[in-house]
Structures are given as C-alpha cells and as structure tokens.
Amino acid sequence: MTSAMPVDSSSDASSDDDAPATSTAAAAGLDGPSDNDHDGDDDGSDDGDANGHVPAGTTRAAATLSLFWDMASTDPAERRTAAASLLKALDSLQRDFQAAPVDLGADDDDEENNAERMDVDADGAGVEDGGSDDTAAATRAAATAAATAAAARIEAQFHPDVVYTLRRLVRGLPSSRDGARLGFSLALTELLAMLPDLALRDLLTLLESLTPTTKGMKGQEVREIYFGRLFCYRAVLLSGMVRRPHTRVRDIEKMAQQALELSRSKAYLSEACFEVLIGVCRDLVESGKPDAATRVVELSLADGISTPEQLWLAVVIQENCPSILK
C-alpha cells in the first residue's frame, strides 16, 4: 500500500478527528497547557481557561489555537484548510529549528527495555504475570521512564510548537466532538510525513501515555480511546513511517501487536485494524523488509484463520506478496 494522505470525509464511521493549530510561536513544549485537560474532549479550552483564554506568559497566538477548533468542524473543506495552515506554519518553524542529534536506531534504552518486559493489556495498563501491587508499581514506573525518555528525544529534535501540536493531535484523536477525529487524524498524518526524523518508538510511547484507560472509565470513554489509537496507527501507515530506513522492526511489531489487541477487544474495530496490518505488510515488502512483513503476518495469523479479517489478510498477502508466506 503506497503512502498517501488520508481522505477527509464527513461520512467516516467514527465521525471524529481533530486538527492542529498553526503554531506561530515557540510556546509550550511537552508540558504545555493542553496536557492539563483530561476530559477526553480536546475542545480548545486546554490552552487556557474555560473560555479558551491563553495564560499570561504563553506566546502561542490565539489565531493559531483557533485552528484546532476549525479542524474539528463538520465541514471537510474547513478542516482541510485549517490543517494546511497549521502545517505550513510548523514547517517553517521546524526548518529554522536547530535540532539536537538523536540516535534513532538505539536499542539499548534501559527504560524501553524494562517497559517491554511487562505484559501490556489492550486497555493500556501494564500488567506483568502475577499482578501483585509491587509488580503494578514497577510496571507504572517502567512506563513512566519510557515516556520520559521519549519526551526528551522529541523535545530535542523538534521546535516547541511542533512538539505541542504533535501532543495535542495525538491527545485529541479520541475526541467525539463534531469532526474532531477526522480533522486531527488528517493533520497528524501530514505532520508525521513532515517529520522524517521522528522515531516510531517515540510516537507509540507518546500515544500510550496520552491515551490511557482505567478501570473506572465508562464504556463510551474506552471506545473513544480505542478509536483514537486506531486512527493513530492509520496515520503512521499513511504518512510513510513504516517505510523509513530507521524505523525498527521491533517497533513495527509492537504497533502490529497493539492493533491486534484492539481487533480482539472490540469486534467493530477488527476490519479497520486488519486494513492497517495489510497496509503495513505491503509497505514493508515494497521498502525491502520482507522478513518484517512475514513477522507481522505470523502475529496476525498466530491462532490460524478463524475470522473473516484473518482470511482477508491471508488472501491479500497470497495474491500480492506470496513470497513472505512461509
């Protein structure tokens, strides 16, 4: 599947997408004001008070913040215009930003390795075998350390407004307001395509930290979180991140496993999840990583072919990439 920009249509099944704001100032970074709003509806008030007033000391332009509202419009044309305005401004800022060198292929991160030793359930709560309080605390500590390391790498690489927008878009994907999810996923896809140095491992860690679920959440809240994660995986695929030379196979496998967890947890997500997995396999084959594609197929068909979606994947792979089937 070739990388392409998502089609922004108001008829999308989830009817939710939020778009970024045209950042014209080097304002807040990873700990910007929007991270204080945990209601799951990225409605613009997270950048200030309930009326959207920006706190004193913040230089982010109000006109820029208004683009997030426009990207949540029910009008597809308005969403696309707002996203284009945002990306144009961010591209200019990032071109002038002097990024610190970051080893995108490093495999020796203690925090990441510790986090990956934990079993992570589909709800995003790390649970190691045994489930003791000590284990749960260790899991949370490992996840926090991994998120901190990822945040540091992202802050070192990108302009503060780019960082802010990346976080806000990822955080806004679960929003069910108007056309928020459609607009945000459109803008996120374009932003990811604009940031060739962004590592998939850091994006996945960011997604996990910004879309947590808890036992006390209502079913509708969990549903929105799941849709948000799915739209992020779709943005990864459409932006071309899978094809990048520095994208590690272990990170692609991690995303595939997370997509499979979603498909198993909610039947209505299964088809969309497998559509992403099929696209990942195609991108891997076309970018010269057939072994990685084989691994994704093995994960997807680990329990055989027992669902229509698994049959769909098997048929598509057999017809288009038979060499990766073993």
220 has pLDDT over 90: yes
Scan for tokens 């057939």, then name that residue: 290
Q: What is the pLDDT of residue 63?
A: 62
Q: Please name every residue paired with 126 in a beta bridge, in sequence order, or none if there are none.
A: 120
317 has pLDDT over 90: yes
113 has pLDDT over 90: no
Classify each residue of 122-153 as buried b or exposed e, where b means 16 or more C-beta atoms within 10 Å of its C-beta.
Answer: bbbbbebeeeeeeebebbeebbebbbebbbeb
Q: What is the pLDDT of residue 65?
A: 81
Q: Residues 140, 209: contact at Cβ < 8 Å?
A: no
Question: What's the CA gap between 49 and 29, in Å, rounded?
Answer: 18
Q: 195's torsion region: left (phi>0), alpha (psi -120 to 50) or beta?
A: beta
106 has pLDDT over 80: no
The pLDDT mean for the chain works out to 78
pLDDT band for position 8 (cuts 50, 70, 90) = low
pLDDT band for position 112 (cuts 50, 70, 90) = low
- Reported as a single tens digit per residue, the pLDDT across 13-70 is 443 333 333 332 322 222 233 333 433 344 333 443 333 333 433 445 566 788 999 9
Question: What's the CA gap between 121 and 205, in Å, rounded?
Answer: 15
Q: What is the pLDDT of residue 128?
A: 37
